């Protein structure tokens, strides 16, 4: 089948009109793009890296949440009214953007929130897009995938000092110990107290590496209930082994010995 064009077709006019339309439809960095009711873009044929329902906070004086279906393809995040992607509501360009987990305020207790901060253009700062996931695991999954697309350098946990790790993790709430240590100890307490050879038998090497990579990428993964307890114990041992200095820092080592001697003298009295 061939396509016949009219003999008097004016290609110069066609090129000018095409250029004008392209300029009017271009998507600026950050949030924007076609308005409500517009069809999805040609890139919709590309297989998405991730897709799912999230609630998007509307920009108004009163907090208003709208359920939208988000689709991530390449470095472009689009959101739609339905999971068929028929009605495109907006586009967020992720290059040079930032993704942050948000601590819920007293009004947002029980909500799993994160934000996407688009890159600024010139002197104008772009507004952040605040999103709500359905669960903590869903939130962590979205944040992980988005950060990988953006290319966020890993925060790193293994090999970092305790003070650096604790300072960084204060953004997730007050913690007396690193989140990795807390999660490992809680899991071992629940599943490993009656396990033979705990901290002696090795765990599954591939699983240990996966958990290590996740924590080093700034994630806070939870251990499924069927996780081998020796794997979690091996992860904890690996973390402690790679600390730049002992759990009791060298600067406080003598103080620790003095306290021990004092306790011994009290107990002998």
**pLDDT tens readout for residues 30-83:** 455 444 444 444 445 578 889 999 999 987 666 789 999 999 998 899 999 999
CA–CA dist 264, 130 (Å, integer):
56
3-state secondary structure of 242: coil
Is residue 94 within 8 Å of residue 150, measured between CB atoms?
yes
Determine, yes or no, domain membership for 61: yes
pLDDT at 15 over 50: no
**pLDDT at residue 220, rounded to an integer:** 86
Whole-number Cα distances in Å, 44 to 29, 68, 72, 109: 19, 16, 10, 36
Determine, yes or no, domain membership for 137: yes
Which has more pLDDT, 251 or 151? 251
| CATH code assigned at 69 | 2.30.29.30
Which has more pLDDT, 170 or 203? 203
Q: Are 81 and 184 in the same domain?
A: no
Q: Are 45 and 130 in the same domain?
A: yes
Determine, yes or no, domain membership for 3: no
Pick the closest to residue 187 from 212, 215, 224, 217 (CA basis). Answer: 224
pLDDT at 206 over 60: yes
Q: Are 179 and 137 in the same domain?
A: no
pTM over 0.85? The answer is: no
pLDDT at 18 over 70: no
Determine, yes or no, domain membership for 246: no
Is residue 147 within 8 Å of residue 99, measured between CB atoms?
yes
Angle between helices 229-241 and 179-191 (to 10 degrees): 150
| CATH code assigned at 188 | 1.10.555.10
Q: Are 33 and 145 in the same domain?
A: yes
Q: Are 50 and 83 in the same domain?
A: yes
Which has more pLDDT, 41 or 26? 41
Is residue 85 within 8 Å of residue 42, measured between CB atoms?
no
**pLDDT at residue 11, rounded to an integer:** 45
Q: Are 130 and 207 in the same domain?
A: no
Helix (H), strand (E) at residue 193? none
Q: How many CA atoms within 13 Å lie on the side-chain side of 186?
A: 11
- Total structural domains in the chain? 2
Q: Are 50 and 117 in the same domain?
A: yes
Domain that holds residue 225: 162-241
226-243 pLDDT, tens digit per residue, is 999 999 999 999 999 888
Residues 6+ apart with CB under 8 A from 88: 33, 34, 38, 39, 40, 41, 78, 79, 80
Q: Are 145 and 167 in the same domain?
A: no
């Amino acid at each position: 089948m061939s396509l016949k064009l009219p003999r008097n077709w004016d290609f110069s006019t066609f090129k000018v009109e095409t250029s004008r339309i392209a300029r009017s439809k271009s998507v600026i960095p950050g949030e924007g793009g076609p308005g409500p009711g517009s069809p999805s873009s040609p890139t919709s044929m590309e297989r998405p890296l991730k897709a799912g329902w999230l609630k998007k906070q509307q920009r108004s004086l009163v907090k208003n949440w709208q359920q939208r279906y988000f689709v991530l393809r390449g470095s472009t995040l689009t959101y739609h009214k339905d999971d068929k992607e028929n009605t495109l509501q907006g586009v967020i360009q992720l290059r040079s953007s930032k993704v942050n987990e948000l601590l819920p305020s007293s009004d947002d207790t029980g909500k799993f929130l994160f934000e996407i901060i688009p890159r600024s253009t010139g002197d104008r700062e772009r507004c952040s897009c605040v999103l709500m996931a359905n669960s903590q695991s869903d939130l962590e999954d979205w944040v992980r995938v988005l950060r990988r697309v953006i290319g966020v350098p890993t925060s790193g946990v293994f090999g970092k000092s305790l003070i650096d790790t604790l300072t960084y993790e204060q953004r997730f709430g007050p913690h007396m110990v690193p989140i990795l240590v807390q999660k490992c100890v809680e899991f071992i307490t629940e599943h490993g107290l009656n396990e033979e050879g705990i901290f002696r038998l090795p765990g599954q090497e591939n699983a240990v590496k996966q958990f290590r990579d996740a924590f080093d990428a700034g994630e806070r993964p939870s251990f499924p209930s069927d996780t081998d307890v020796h794997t979690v114990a091996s992860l904890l041992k690996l973390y402690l082994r790679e600390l730049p200095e002992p759990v009791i820092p060298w600067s406080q080592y003598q103080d620790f010995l003095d306290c021990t001697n004092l306790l011994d003298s009290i107990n002998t009295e």
